[in-house]
C-alpha cells in the first residue's frame, strides 16, 4: 500500500522565481519533513490530470531527485495510478534541474 503525501504548493504552475524561471508544473513542500537544507522537503508535482495552479496536492512518492552538487534532494509526487519513466520525469523537471548535476531514482510501488 502506498502512503499518501500532502504537498503544500508554494510555487504553482506559472510562478516565476527570482532567477526568471517559470514553473510549468506545481511545486511545493511536505510540512513536517525536513530536507537536507534543514527546510521542509521540496516536491515537484507531476500528473497528467492537473494542468492548473494548485494550493495542495495529495499523492504518492514516485521518485527522488538526488542532487550531487547540492545539499538537498527533491521528491517527485504523483497520483496513485500514474507512472513515469526517468526520461519523462527528467523532461518535466528540466526547467530547474538543468542547473544541477542530478540523478533521478524511481521508487518502486507495491
Average pLDDT value for residue range 83-103: 96
> According to the model, what pLDDT value does residue 2 have?
59
Q: What average pLDDT is seen over the chain?
A: 93
Q: How far is CA 75 from CA 20, 35, 51, in A?
A: 22, 10, 19
Mean pLDDT of 23-49: 93
Which residues, at least 6 apart from 16, have a Cβ–Cβ distance to it below 8 Å?
22, 23
The pLDDT value given to residue 1: 44
Alpha-carbon torsion angle 57, 9, 53, 46, nearest 10: -60
What is the pLDDT at residue 37? Answer: 85
Q: Does residue 41 carry a pLDDT above 50?
A: yes
Quick one: pLDDT at residue 8?
A: 98
Give the pLDDT mean for 70-97. Answer: 94
* 19-34 residue pLDDT tens: 999 999 999 999 999 8
Q: Model-level pTM?
A: 0.92
Q: Which of 39, 9, 40 is nearest to 23 (CA)?
A: 9
88, 100 Cβ separation under 8 angstroms: no
pLDDT of residue 110: 52
Amino acid at each position: 500500500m502506498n502512503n499518501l503525501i500532502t504537498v503544500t504548493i508554494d510555487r504553482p504552475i506559472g510562478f516565476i522565481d527570482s532567477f526568471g524561471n517559470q514553473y510549468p508544473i506545481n511545486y511545493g513542500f511536505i510540512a513536517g519533513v525536513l530536507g537536507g537544507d534543514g527546510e521542509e522537503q521540496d516536491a515537484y508535482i507531476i500528473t497528467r490530470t492537473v494542468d492548473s495552479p494548485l494550493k495542495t496536492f495529495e499523492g504518492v512518492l514516485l521518485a527522488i531527485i538526488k542532487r550531487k552538487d547540492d545539499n538537498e534532494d527533491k521528491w517527485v509526487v504523483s497520483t496513485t495510478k500514474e507512472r513515469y519513466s526517468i526520461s519523462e520525469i527528467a523532461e518535466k523537471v528540466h526547467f530547474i534541474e538543468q542547473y544541477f548535476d542530478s540523478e533521478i531514482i524511481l521508487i518502486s510501488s507495491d
